[in-house]
Structure 1
């Protein structure tokens, strides 16, 4: 037990840092070795080892930045006259600890990835760093000291198995030195038996698991199905963690200014347990694991609560986190096509100066009732309830990395696609991120406020990658297991952010499913949007659907089913091409998005609404959800699998896209194109999806990827909501029309094929009938006019037709009555007409 004298003071903001880096090579060969150093977002530069001391070579360098410096990246590399990057030691490493004056001093050792902050912590004696089973008959041994295999006469033995042969893997081509041995055994190694490698002068090391963890046999033997995490009760807390390669595991607990250290006991299938008597509510903890010779300290991947910036896991009495009004979600949705999804960032929603909220940018701010602008226009949840959307899809609100929760008085912004802790809420949206329980209660308060207004909550989940593999609890506890690797041994990078999680492995799949069920039950989440869902495998998504069905079949699952280049066979990827295998899981329809307005990755490319010819066939596919006019490669099996949208949080807003593609068009035409696109989304078969502010033509002033842009770019502009109130009313009317007329929400492919009929038109016109079996109308005729001028369209009868939308107004009830077989359709607009059953009966 160690007494903590005082809490850490607030660190200063550093814009200049000086690093002293000591480097020791056992082979004493420093020729050509140098540093490549950089700051995030800035170019790197070379630094030479220009000094030396009794430890080895020394490099001293200073870096400056106009922004705050949080870490310094470096690589130790070997340069030759021909190649500056002839060799390197390890990949990117980072120095993160600086004193208050911006100085850092670190020590590095040849063959060791660890960065030492004290020279006395460095082991300078020969030793074995690790011994890992990489193949069924191979153990890879890593030493801290390079050796000459031919001349040093090392004696190697293996307890528990018989050696067939040994080979040394040289440091680099042409070198006689090595620090890696591969021991090949005569017989197949066992995953349940203990082995020990012994090398003369280097000592011994227990054998643990390496690449062998990425085999099906490993999953079969170590697929643990017991409880994981910290299970609290007033009498005791049960800790359980999964770490098959560990030789020892401890729980380090911080409570009442004291530190406690407890040994955990090894259980079955690689799990470690500790049952700790007493009331530990509010305690913070870390796991300490010894793998081979190395001790690692990390958070709990199953943590339900975390300290500020997620530095520690926390034990919480979850009953105390429930608001007084907390109750179970009704979850009455009978089909996903009945949903109207509205994607919203928590901070964006209320940070505007005239949002009318007190807790701006917070969970509680969005939960506030009766918020209005100074002119009396509703904002926040009241406004969204009036608009008529059914589901609010919140951008990530699990704990993420890149907003410093200790400096919330400074400008910071992120969307949250940089996961740190998947099962605990983000602290920057809380009124006190230092209180692990409060952020949970405040998030639940927001969720309850949404439910109380008759709407549901979809959670944006990002299980496809982590922000920092090396510091991830997954990698610290079971290095090499939770992530996908390419054939060259490097991390797979289909996500484009440096790593892909390996959902196909049993315990990663289990984690994803456990996490989803936890959010659905503890927080009453009504749906999940999967970021880069195509990274995951089909079996995992099916397992998730099955598990959530046990909670409630009405829980929506939707995701980005893109075909991504991850290290997984194509037929296993959970993308649009495998949609037919994943019933009950919807996919974003990028085809409709791009053919509607132009390719989203090109500023100048246009589509149906902004003047491009040749889009009609693709629009027929889009408005029928690919049911009536099938997509060429996608395998959607029902409208319930198709999410139609024109814009989302990433890439340009629809307004900005139209501005780029039609710079010479009038403001009036920009508005008309925008309304046309939004009406197509809301009236198509499938699930409609709106980006926050789309209904008042949101702009980000041309910024495409605003994930860390300031509030001025990202905030919902409630004054614009006032300015474009007519369009808000139009969208509100379209939503009402959709919700009250089932013909726009057909459930099955067969229904769409039987009840949707397209009319022959020119390339800039889409016209179709929807035949109804019941309700006030026998038939609806929908006309989407992308012409830059009005058109006259011939109907198949003189009606009387009830006009439900004229491109400026929309409602579920008639705006007017047309007694003619000729209708005028304004330029860039949507017209919806309905033929009452009584009219059909009279004609018959």
Structure 2
């Protein structure tokens, strides 16, 4: 790799060498830092406070990398680099002390739980087979009603009750919100209520200390994260990490800025920091060292922590070349690792839009997915106005956008793109590049959105529409994605952006499983339906065009057929009807004898009854799925 930084000569070192900042052995530790400034190394006994045990002036190797070899066994000690811009743990610390201000010297194999070398990611034939469950560690387990041990911690997901619950629901991938070391929670005050989603990066390659049982011990957070992954893998559940390379918590105090000021950030033509992230800065993925940093970081999480996928926050801030390089690098390790992200930015970026990994450019991304806001907003209404509804609220002209999501955002002869809400042309090469969803963490959850957009909605109506929405998501040809707790009818008290709201807003109330058992049963039934029949998981655009066709339907109804033994399914013809109208609606279907598997708020893959003839009647604000052999 070569690159030029602030007058420093090109760097012929491998990226692995540049970002391997601490190499431990029992008799010595080698420290390196890539910086244009003279660098001092300091060794400390503890992760915070106290004076340095040793101060070492690092030597330049002539290629912009500073190096120091410290003899003796430093295991358990801490270190910082000082380039004259303030002390920091470097860019690629793999272990840190409390609050991540100092790096830690750790013998990484000692952090492996028993059996870690035998850990394997669960088999996955296609991303279409995934059912992704987005989860925040505190939300999932913090409430006393969860009955889980280690509430709010990585280890909560190792609890047999949590594992059994996830298996019963049927999801096979957990998308964990940012779990790297982030800046907004003070790990020295965990007895004081604090909450954040974690989209404020500090150390990208170390697990977050507040989710461990001991943030002061560098090895505990690492081992417990691995234990979490191991437990989920044993249950057949993949782990997807939410990564936030598009910005840092701030500029002045970031490790990037302290090591190499202004290199890792984009600036506008007038010299101001660009803010495509909406967080005060945006990183420059197109620059050689930032690109290599992202590549090495992703590979590190895959190799060290056995991560199975990545969700890129504001992926539209990153350039297309970098994202494709990451995909290629991951393919060399395991091509089943799924990569997807938000195909947008939070503001304009100081880089040409046609070169960014925006949703509209997804066809230039090789095997990388993006969230489908076309489908999301068609179902529930626009992100920009919580009070406006969509298909679920009976708003007109939402059908075409919903149909576009159902086919996986591919080109399809029955989709009139002039009537789709945001996209005027297909933006995927394959349906597996589209993530289908109706809600996620950074918005109103589904129940709150329904209450906001449909004044006076009754509880019965809310449940019907909630189930209808997820039927669309889980029978679409994309990769389905649901927010943790939707299956128990969670709410967030109407808070749209709950990133730092207290647990009382964000927590799951597990008592809802007793209040609304039919909701959980429907969700788990839909997931089982999807997993049982390959017609819902065709994963190829030509197959979708061949086998999926839309039926004539009145306003407020979308109906489609999966025919001709789609996907080699034992069910020859499957018909899905989504009725947002309040009254029951008749749909003409090809004549035959059909088995009903979804109707009247219930799902049973073994059958709920049968209908014969050329007409199917679906209840108001409900879905129906029927098939004939």
TM-score, scaled relative to structure 1: 0.70
Task: Write the deviation string for residues 41-98 of structure 1: whole angstroms up to 9, x where unpaired.
Answer: xxxxxxxxxxxxxxxxxxxxxxxxxxxxxxxxxxxxxxxxxxxxxxxxxxxxxxxxxx
C-alpha separation between the residues in 1 aligned to 2:344 and 2:312?
11
Task: Write the deviation string for residues 125-175 of structure 1: whole angstroms up to 9, x where unpaired.
Answer: xxxxxxxxxxxxxxxxxxxxxxxxxxxxxxxxxxxxxxxxxxxxxxxxxxx
Choose 1 or 2 for highest CA Rg.
1
Counterparts in 2 of 1:465-480, with a 5 A limit?
Answer: 465-480=247-262
Which residue matches 2:363? Answer: 580
Identify if the C-alpha distance between structure 1 residues 587 and 224 changes in structure 2 by more than 3 Å, giving closer, same or farther: closer
Residue of 109, 122, 125 corresponding to 1:319: 109
Are 2:243 and 1:453 equivalent residues in the alignment? no
Counterparts in 2 of 1:390-789, with a 5 A limit?
Answer: 390-562=172-344, 564-627=347-410, 628=412, 629=415, 631-771=423-563, 772-773=565-566, 774-789=568-583
C-alpha separation between the residues in 1 aligned to 2:518 and 2:432?
31
Cα shift at 1:221: 7.5
Does structure 2 conserve the Cα–Cα contact (< 8 Å) formed by 1:653 and 1:699?
yes
Task: Write the deviation string for residues 516-543 of structure 1: whole angstroms up to 9, x where unpaired.
Answer: 0000110000000000000000011001
Cα shift at 1:792: 2.1
C-alpha separation between the residues in 2 aligned to 1:389 and 1:338?
10
Which residue matches 2:420? Answer: none
Identify if the C-alpha distance between structure 1 residues 220 and 267 changes in structure 2 by more than 3 Å, giving closer, same or farther: closer
Which residue matches 2:166? Answer: 384
C-alpha separation between the residues in 1 aligned to 2:195 and 2:600?
37
Q: Does the residue aligned with 1:240 lie in a helix, a strand or coil?
A: strand
Cα shift at 1:223: 8.1
Are 2:130 and 1:339 equivalent residues in the alignment? yes
Cα shift at 1:651: 1.0
C-alpha separation between the residues in 2 aligned to 1:647 and 1:381?
23
Does structure 2 conserve the Cα–Cα contact (< 8 Å) formed by 1:223 and 1:506?
no
Cα shift at 1:225: 5.6
Does structure 1 conserve the Cα–Cα contact (< 8 Å) formed by 2:99 and 2:183?
yes
Q: Does the residue aligned with 2:143 lie in a helix, a strand or coil?
A: coil
Cα shift at 1:331: 4.0
C-alpha separation between the residues in 2 aligned to 1:555 and 1:709?
32
Which residue matches 1:271? Answer: 65
Bigger strand share: 1
Cα shift at 1:812: 2.8
C-alpha separation between the residues in 1 aligned to 2:600 and 2:276?
42
Cα shift at 1:768: 1.0
C-alpha separation between the residues in 2 aligned to 1:786 and 1:729?
21
Q: Does the residue aligned with 1:821 lie in a helix, a strand or coil?
A: strand
Q: CA RMSD in A?
A: 1.8
Does structure 2 conserve the Cα–Cα contact (< 8 Å) formed by 1:469 and 1:475?
yes
Task: Write the deviation string for residues 763-816 of structure 1: whole angstroms up to 9, x where unpaired.
Answer: 2111111022423211111111111111122221132x1111114111332222
Q: Does the residue aligned with 1:823 lie in a helix, a strand or coil?
A: strand
C-alpha separation between the residues in 2 aligned to 1:225 and 1:431?
31
Task: Write the deviation string for residues 805-838 of structure 1: whole angstroms up to 9, x where unpaired.
Answer: 11411133222222333222111111111110xx
C-alpha separation between the residues in 1 aligned to 2:547 and 2:425?
24
C-alpha separation between the residues in 2 aligned to 1:562 and 1:807?
37
C-alpha separation between the residues in 1 aligned to 2:426 and 2:63?
40
Cα shift at 1:638: 0.6
Which residue matches 1:806? Answer: 599
Identify if the C-alpha distance between structure 1 residues 392 and 407 changes in structure 2 by more than 3 Å, giving closer, same or farther: same
TM-score, scaled relative to structure 2: 0.94
Q: Does the residue aligned with 2:293 lie in a helix, a strand or coil?
A: helix
Which has the higher relative contact order, 1 or 2, with Cα contacts under 8 A spaced 6 or more apart?
A: 2
Which residue matches 1:262? Answer: 56
Cα shift at 1:329: 2.2
Which residue matches 1:167? Answer: none
C-alpha separation between the residues in 2 aligned to 1:317 and 1:220?
28
Residue of 132, 139, 151 corresponding to 1:360: 151
Does structure 1 conserve the Cα–Cα contact (< 8 Å) formed by 2:535 and 2:569?
no
Which residue matches 1:821? Answer: 614
C-alpha separation between the residues in 1 aligned to 2:55 and 2:249?
29
Q: Which runs of 5+ in 2 are unaligned?
A: 418-422
C-alpha separation between the residues in 2 aligned to 1:225 and 1:237?
17
Which residue matches 1:64? Answer: none
C-alpha separation between the residues in 2 aligned to 1:260 and 1:813?
70
Does structure 2 conserve the Cα–Cα contact (< 8 Å) formed by 1:286 and 1:313?
yes
Task: Write the deviation string for residues 193-218 of structure 1: whole angstroms up to 9, x where unpaired.
Answer: xxxxxxxxxxxxxxxx75x78xxxx7
C-alpha separation between the residues in 1 aligned to 2:14 and 2:63?
6
Does structure 1 conserve the Cα–Cα contact (< 8 Å) formed by 2:132 and 2:481?
yes
Which residue matches 1:239? Answer: 31
Bigger helix share: 2
Task: Write the deviation string for residues 672-721 of structure 1: whole angstroms up to 9, x where unpaired.
Answer: 11111111001111100000011122100101111111111101110112
C-alpha separation between the residues in 1 aligned to 2:610 and 2:426?
40
C-alpha separation between the residues in 1 aligned to 2:10 and 2:361?
25
Cα shift at 1:387: 0.4
Identify if the C-alpha distance between structure 1 residues 811 and 220 changes in structure 2 by more than 3 Å, giving closer, same or farther: farther
Does structure 2 conserve the Cα–Cα contact (< 8 Å) formed by 1:331 and 1:552?
no
Does structure 2 conserve the Cα–Cα contact (< 8 Å) formed by 1:219 and 1:505?
no
Does structure 1 conserve the Cα–Cα contact (< 8 Å) formed by 2:141 and 2:148?
yes
Does structure 2 conserve the Cα–Cα contact (< 8 Å) formed by 1:600 and 1:652?
no
Does structure 2 conserve the Cα–Cα contact (< 8 Å) formed by 1:253 and 1:283?
yes
C-alpha separation between the residues in 2 aligned to 1:826 and 1:541?
45
Does structure 1 conserve the Cα–Cα contact (< 8 Å) formed by 2:91 and 2:259?
no
Residue of 90, 93, 101 corresponding to 1:300: 90
Q: Which runs of 5+ in 1 are unaligned?
A: 1-190, 193-208, 372-379, 837-844
Counterparts in 2 of 1:219-234, with a 5 A limit?
Answer: 226-228=17-19, 229-234=21-26
C-alpha separation between the residues in 2 aligned to 1:277 and 1:227?
21
C-alpha separation between the residues in 1 aligned to 2:474 and 2:189?
41
Does structure 2 conserve the Cα–Cα contact (< 8 Å) formed by 1:331 and 1:555?
no
Cα shift at 1:633: 4.1
C-alpha separation between the residues in 2 aligned to 1:547 and 1:280?
33
Does structure 2 conserve the Cα–Cα contact (< 8 Å) formed by 1:738 and 1:812?
no
Task: Write the deviation string for residues 431-463 of structure 1: whole angstroms up to 9, x where unpaired.
Answer: 111101111111111111111111010000000
Does structure 2 conserve the Cα–Cα contact (< 8 Å) formed by 1:400 and 1:417?
yes
Cα shift at 1:325: 3.4
